[in-house]
Structure 1
Amino acid sequence: MAKLNIGLVKSVAVIGGGPCGAATIKALLKEAAFSKIVGFERRAGTGGLWNYYDSNKGPEPTKVPSTDPHRLDSISPIRLASDKYVWPSAIYELMDTNVPYHIMEYSGFPFPKNSPLFPTKQQVLEYIQEYSKEVEPYIHFGTNVVSVKFRPDETHRWQVTYRKVCDATAGGLKESPDHPDQTEEFDAVLVASGHYELPYVPEKPGLADWALKFPGSVSHSKNYRHPRQFENLDGNLVVVGNSASGSDLAYQLASYLNRKVYKSARSKSMLPGGSSDYIITVPDIASFEPETKSIRFQDGTVVENVAHIIFATGFLRHYPFLDEINSSQTPIVTDGLRLHGLYKQCVSYNFPGLALIATPRYVLPTRLSETQAIWLAKIFQGQLELPSIEEMKQDELRTVELMGDSPKFHNLFYPDDVRYAKELNNQIYSTPDWDSKLAPVEWNERDMQYRASATAMKEAYIRYRELNNGERVTDVDALRQGVEFELEPVDEEVLKL
């Protein structure tokens, strides 16, 4: 059976200098086997999407529907001053994490003592920035990668072309003779730029006409910053989506504004969220009816006088610098709902030396990116052997059969996420020159119990804050003294892996 010919890798490009990019670079450095490691980050520093920026004081509209993963017109930076740009992200002002900090930690790098059980966005940013200091010299900041091309017949397999983020390049979006594009060659490319960039807004009957008739009345959770944006709206507010962001946004809006918020949910949420008597849960949307400014839902319910709709419907998989690959016979991105041609949702079996970091949903990206990077380093050094191309294809097909050819393909809920991480960890431990200095984060019993109990813990944490004037509790024992809830048992089978 055919094998993937990656060869011995000596030079690696890492696209993205956020939480996953920093972890990837640090893991490669610890391997001490690569002559060239270069990171590319379009922001001015580390932290990635955790860099919060309040880009608009009112509701910021979204182009709808948004179903094309190859569009570029909706992704652009905001110019703050001469040659200074920021990229707004999905982080909002009142965001806390959805999981306790214990299971977010990088290997050997704990959160500061007395951190809240569920840290704020600023505390997470500071933690990631502190962790990333060691790798900053290896990252080209203020640099936008514009293309990654596979060249198997040349000396080096990969050509990475990038440009400076400045006024002359319109924030890195256009070529400029004053700052010409540059190209470097690498043996391997690791994409660690995340998948929370391009909003996904599904097509719904009447939505396009609604957006034309009521411009600015439709937005996406990526553009949400604070309930204050919606204080002066005259009419009903509808949040579409029942996952983490949809539940959190509906709760924030209802609690802060003390007004009804309609939350459209297709299914029961698997993630934590606060509850409020002001939140009215309705089914999936059947149609928008702009002539009456109403929305009709699948059960026939109609909400009239709708002032604003927030789609908390996720993101499209979007990697514009991979356009050449995506226009080939074996694209990685097609409709943007799931990625194709990846073994273990990580290694490309069609393009040797290409891997995408932390693509699964509902995982702990900090932990997973470290584990995947160490695993890839062992593969690149010939210490771990990948299965045949046919076996890797079959592995992907089994996931399609189990999860569907849809966004759910990438879902890794507990305990599947722990099982996945332990499988890679055990392969790493099997290498002949295993060095404990490269140890990925291990899932111990406490961590698995916190992972299993994350939803119950976060819901208890929200209740605790409501009962104690916003106080942020710092440990599980104190939380259980203030709010009654049960910790879930661990999956014994996965614990023994």
Structure 2
Amino acid sequence: MVPWVSRPDEDQLNSLPLNENQASKGMRSEILSGVNKTIQRSITTAMHCKTPFKRIAIIGGGPAGLAAARGLTEEPGDFEVDLFERKKRVGGVWDYTGQKSKALEKWQHGGTGQGGRDEAISAIYKNMETNITSWLMAYSQHPFPKNSEKYPSRSEVEDYVESYRDRFVRVRALHTNTDVQRVRKENGEWTVSCEDLSTGHRFDGVYDAVVVANGHFERPYIPSGIPGLEEWRQRDPSCFSHAKYFDDPEDFRDKTVLVVGAGPSGTDVALQVAVGARQVYLSARRPSASPDLSAVGVRNVSEIVRYDGATRTATTIDGTELADINKVVFCTGYLYDFPFLDSYRSGPKGILDGGARLLNLYRQIFYIYDPSLAFLALQKSVVPMPLAESQAAVVGRVFSGRLPLPSVDDMTRAFHHDIERYGPGIHTLNFPLDVEYCRELQEWLDESATTAPGLQPLRWDDAHYEARRTSAEEKSVRLAKVAAHAATLKAARKPFNFPPRDH
């Protein structure tokens, strides 16, 4: 399934436990209501930017970075915007790179632990379709082409994102194939230090504000502390992979494969690999919640609690032993990573909390202690493009000086309120939290009388709300069709492909 779209139960990282009472829909709504009241009280002590920002750096040329550029383009301000993208063209995660074998080998032999940044490869794989319909995931005022599939393929989304850039994005400079290596604030200005990856040339840019939109599919997360795992990885690193490096299911033909993590990506990997594999195990903390892919030979198992590289076995929490494993694919999510913000990563005013979440952000966007630093699309289990535009509309208005922010004290209180209520999964906005979040941002614009001019993001009307509410159920119907088709391919020993899709 497509990364960063609707991940309600993705993995051990992204399903960090919440208090049972907090997990209820009613409590979640109450939490958001409480945050709203706190925010409204804060507006009484609101502060504007001392002067509108002019020079803006956007880090990341994916769907969120392009939305940020549109938000600034359509804002009635005289912005000078530079956009930096590490890959050779814009598109972010949707810029399919293929050819992951070298990156995988580098990751496999990169030592123990979580791994880190490597060459700019995409987490998108060869056979991919979205798990959100094209109608629901579209940007504002920019529908998918009429002949698009109901669940677009990766190439359709890639073309769509490029068409969005061509239609809406106007920047002073677009720096592709450029690695942002350091971002620091000195004497009231941001210095962005970069390297042109094609020439090795290094250069700096000076800005009034920075938007970080580099995504969260860069640094793979691997569970730690499981007996035998690190020993097996050291013994034979070629046995292990991560969803980021998955591309062609034919690489697993006639092998016994353990897929760890039964969220959308794990389900997708298990289903595709099962067409040619000898046996596929799909491990989840709650196997009862995993989809039934038995028709294509996938066996659902519970959480893995022990690995043994000497015998190539894994043992589940209920004592089941899985033997003769050739490959283990971790579909266990990613850690947030901003290596270029080294001076902001830790400490009482730091932004990173071990990579699982970000700290000290107001409305999950603005760095509380210096709102000239903003973050877009940190959220998971969301419809990303509309959400990114909702955030971009707010950022544009704040940076132009039209939309006030609360005081530092009030923003800090609002942030701690979020932490207390949401627990560790603060960025995971399962429905209806994602819709409510976007609606609250829109209310902020409406109540501040800054609705127009500027970027007009999607207003979540009843039709969109209902489509979002039923999106998981709809996708499960599609998944059943794909699984049935995959079973026929397996019987005929043919490689995986998708059945005909609905428009």
- Fold-level match, TM-score > 0.5? yes
Displacement after TM superposition at 1:417 (Å): 0.5
Alignment of 1:409-488 (within 5 A): 409-432=426-449, 434-435=451-452, 438-465=455-482, 470-474=499-503
Q: Which residue identity lines up with residue 186 of structure 1 in the other structure?
A: Y
Q: Which residue identity lines up with residue 7 of structure 1 in the other structure?
A: K
Q: 1:241 to 1:465 in 2, by over 3 A?
A: closer
What CA distance in whole angstroms lies between the structure 2 residues aligned with 1:273 and 1:333?
37
What CA distance in whole angstroms lies between the structure 2 residues aligned with 1:148 and 1:114?
42
What CA distance in whole angstroms lies between the structure 1 residues aligned with 2:79 and 2:72?
10
- For 1:12, which of 56, 60, 68 is the aligned residue? 56
What CA distance in whole angstroms lies between the structure 1 residues aligned with 2:97 and 2:351?
31
Residue 231, structure 1, aligned to residue 289, structure 2: no
SS class of match (1:292): coil
SS class of match (1:257): coil
Q: 1:131 to 1:66 in 2, by over 3 A?
A: farther
- For 1:202, which of 216, 223, 230 is the aligned residue? 223
Alignment of 1:16-415 (within 5 A): 16-56=60-100, 60-61=104-105, 62-63=107-108, 67=113, 74-77=116-119, 87-134=120-167, 135=169, 138-151=173-186, 154=187, 156-166=188-198, 168-169=199-200, 179=201, 181-203=202-224, 204-233=226-255, 236-254=256-274, 256-257=275-276, 259-267=278-286, 276=295, 278-405=297-424, 408-415=425-432
Displacement after TM superposition at 1:386 (Å): 1.8
Q: Which residue identity lines up with residue 265 of structure 2 in the other structure?
A: S
Per-residue CA distance 1:185-207 (angstroms, 9 max, x = gap): 21111001100001000112111
Per-residue CA distance 1:120-168 (angstroms, 9 max, x = gap): 00000000011111426542112111111022xx2x43111111112x5
What CA distance in whole angstroms lies between the structure 2 residues aligned with 1:110 and 1:46?
19
What CA distance in whole angstroms lies between the structure 2 residues aligned with 1:451 and 1:220?
29
1:484: which partner in 2? none
Displacement after TM superposition at 1:277 (Å): 5.1
State whether residues 273 and 459 of structure 1, in contact with CA within 8 Å, keep that contact through their aligned partners in structure 2.
Answer: no
Displacement after TM superposition at 1:410 (Å): 1.1
What CA distance in whole angstroms lies between the structure 1 residues aligned with 2:259 and 2:460?
36
Question: TM-score, normalised to structure 1's length?
Answer: 0.83
State whether residues 93 and 123 of structure 2, in contact with CA within 8 Å, keep that contact through their aligned partners in structure 1.
Answer: yes
Name the Cα RMSD after superposition. 2.5
State whether residues 333 and 340 of structure 1, in contact with CA within 8 Å, keep that contact through their aligned partners in structure 2.
Answer: yes
Q: 1:314 to 1:292 in 2, by over 3 A?
A: same
What CA distance in whole angstroms lies between the structure 1 residues aligned with 2:368 and 2:294?
45
How many residue pairs match? The answer is: 442
SS class of match (1:13): strand
Displacement after TM superposition at 1:428 (Å): 1.4
Q: Which residue identity lines up with residue 377 of structure 2 in the other structure?
A: A
Q: Structure 1: which 5+ runs fail to align? A: 78-86, 170-178, 475-497
State whether residues 13 and 186 of structure 1, in contact with CA within 8 Å, keep that contact through their aligned partners in structure 2.
Answer: yes
Q: 1:425 to 1:5 in 2, by over 3 A?
A: closer
State whether residues 274 and 459 of structure 1, in contact with CA within 8 Å, keep that contact through their aligned partners in structure 2.
Answer: no
Q: 1:375 to 1:38 in 2, by over 3 A?
A: same
Q: 1:207 to 1:5 in 2, by over 3 A?
A: farther
**Amino-acid identity (%):** 32
State whether residues 244 and 272 of structure 1, in contact with CA within 8 Å, keep that contact through their aligned partners in structure 2.
Answer: no
What CA distance in whole angstroms lies between the structure 2 residues aligned with 1:436 and 1:143?
33
State whether residues 64 and 377 of structure 2, in contact with CA within 8 Å, keep that contact through their aligned partners in structure 1.
Answer: yes
Q: 1:456 to 1:278 in 2, by over 3 A?
A: same
State whether residues 274 and 462 of structure 1, in contact with CA within 8 Å, keep that contact through their aligned partners in structure 2.
Answer: no
State whether residues 40 and 141 of structure 1, in contact with CA within 8 Å, keep that contact through their aligned partners in structure 2.
Answer: yes
State whether residues 295 and 304 of structure 1, in contact with CA within 8 Å, keep that contact through their aligned partners in structure 2.
Answer: yes
SS class of match (1:248): helix
Q: Which residue identity lines up with residue 439 of structure 2 in the other structure?
A: K
State whether residues 72 and 79 of structure 2, in contact with CA within 8 Å, keep that contact through their aligned partners in structure 1.
Answer: no
State whether residues 48 and 402 of structure 2, in contact with CA within 8 Å, keep that contact through their aligned partners in structure 1.
Answer: no
Q: Which residue identity lines up with residue 212 of structure 1 in the other structure?
A: Q
State whether residues 123 and 245 of structure 2, in contact with CA within 8 Å, keep that contact through their aligned partners in structure 1.
Answer: yes
**Which one has more relative contact order, counting CA pairs under 8 Å at least 6 apart?**
2
Displacement after TM superposition at 1:15 (Å): 0.5
Q: Structure 2: which 5+ runs fail to align? A: 1-41, 486-497
State whether residues 91 and 222 of structure 1, in contact with CA within 8 Å, keep that contact through their aligned partners in structure 2.
Answer: yes
1:478: which partner in 2? none
Q: 1:347 to 1:46 in 2, by over 3 A?
A: same
SS class of match (2:479): helix
